[in-house]
Amino acid sequence: MLTINDLIQDEDTRRKYHDIKNMVGSGGMRSSIYDVNNVCNLRCKGCFYFSSDQHKLDDQKDLDELQAFIEREKARGVNYAILIGGEPSLSMDRLDVWYANVKCSSATNGVKKIPRDRYPDMRVGISLWGDEEDEIRLRGKNTFLISRENYRNDPNVYYLYTITAQTINQMEAVTKKIEDAGLRVHYQLFSNDQGVDGLDWTEDLYKEARDNMDAMIEKYPHVVISSKYYHQVLTTQMMLDRRFGWMECPSVSDAVDDRNPRPKRLAGFNSYGSDYTTIHRCCTSVTRDCATCHDGAATMSWIMVNKREHMTSPADFANWVDVTHMFAKLYEYIPW
Ligand code: SF4
Ligand code: SF4
């Protein structure tokens, strides 16, 4: 068994390992995902939230009940709440309760601004599906332009940019606009849940996407929060000699995880519907096919929970450190 000293052979890995070593293990991050409400001001094509009927739950509107639920989650060990849709910006009275009671970040489509003075420390991740024409085509309005203006120069905001098989070549133009707006970006790949024509991935397209994402790290290092190893795993769905999928996924809700054997997974992770009684299968939707899932958070978590498997060579360990460092930046454990 190699020691950490054997495994760390370069200064970049040493620095990053120093940054992250308190984040993992006991006392580190324990997250879960929570739908804040069941409404949205957009109807994006291919949105799994609506197509899988997650919006049909009776959402929790009672703020005292919400606070009691948060206390139960904290007693369960959760110390980081990832708030998602519907659309959190439409229910700021609920965001107030979350923000006052637990460390949290919020997703948004960026159309309605989540005010910084109301939530000075809240990390905000804006979903982005493409450049301006794509946003109009897929989401019904130019949300990219609106969100850039809403959040210009906000140091605690990033775009979660989902690359599709048809938008690989726009990556630099979009990244440049994000740089010009003084914001940051993290990439993931589109999962073609609903079999939309022209959006399936091929080996050539995966390679092109990976090469472009890698190039963006080189060219925009202060804008792009990512990792080449993450890109490799995302575009191959392979980590070491293992294939991503249901029997490997770390982001299945603990309460419904009946896999046998259970793989390494995020401790105590659950994904709650907006009634806070329903627990979704995983961080995406039960309608998604695990064989073609490209969820970025599940992919990076898969790498992170398999630390030991990367402790066989300095190169593998450096890859693990790089991805964990990226995760720590995205979830505020270390500065960008
Ligand atoms: S913004 Fe999000 S929740 Fe709303 S329709 Fe689009 S993908 Fe769905
Ligand atoms: S759809 Fe993706 S995130 Fe959900 S269980 Fe399957 S692999 Fe995991």
Which 8-state DSSP code applies to residue 291?
A: G
Of the listed ranges 76-80, 90-94, 172-176, 189-193, the least confidently predicted one is 189-193
């996924």: which residue's tokens? 249
- Please determine, for residue 68, whether its predicted confidence score (pLDDT) is greater than 90: yes
Radius of gyration from C-alpha coordinates of the chain: 19
Q: What percent of the chain has pLDDT over 70?
A: 99
pLDDT at 25: 52
Name the residue of 34, 35, 49 whose CB sits within 8 Å of the most ligand 1 atoms, as the mutation to test its pocket. 49
Distance CA 50, CA 47 (A): 6
Q: Which residues contact 326 (CB under 8 A, 6 or more apart)?
A: 186, 225, 226, 227, 230, 300
- In the chain, what are the domain boundaries? 4-21+31-330
Of the listed ranges 25-39, 154-168, 284-298, the least confidently predicted one is 25-39
Q: Is 108 in the pocket of ligand 1 (CB under 6 A)?
A: no
Nearest-atom number in ligand 1 for the CA of 139 is 6
Closest residue (by CA) to atom 7 of ligand 1? Answer: 47
Nearest-atom number in ligand 1 for the CA of 109 is 1
Closest residue (by CA) to atom 1 of ligand 2? Answer: 290
């599940």: which residue's tokens? 298
pLDDT at 26: 46
This prediction's pTM: 0.95
């769905």: which residue's tokens? 237
Cβ neighbours around 152 below 10 Å, total: 12
Starting from the CA of residue 295, give the closest ligand. 2
Tell me the one-letter amino acid at 29: M
Average per-residue pLDDT for the chain: 94
Tell me the one-letter amino acid at 297: A
- Please determine, for residue 49, whether its predicted confidence score (pLDDT) is greater than 60: yes
Contact 330, 285 (CB under 8 A): no
> Per CATH, is 4-21+31-330 categorized as 3.20.20?
yes
Name the residue of 265, 283, 289 whose CB sits within 8 Å of the most ligand 2 atoms, as the mutation to test its pocket. 283
Tell me the one-letter amino acid at 33: I
Give the model's confidence band at 24: pLDDT under 50 very low, under 70 low, under 90 confident, else very high. Answer: low
Q: Is 249 in the pocket of ligand 2 (CB under 6 A)?
A: yes
Q: Is 285 in the pocket of ligand 2 (CB under 6 A)?
A: no
Q: Is 87 in the pocket of ligand 1 (CB under 6 A)?
A: yes
Closest residue (by CA) to atom 1 of ligand 1? Answer: 109
Tell me the one-letter amino acid at 142: N
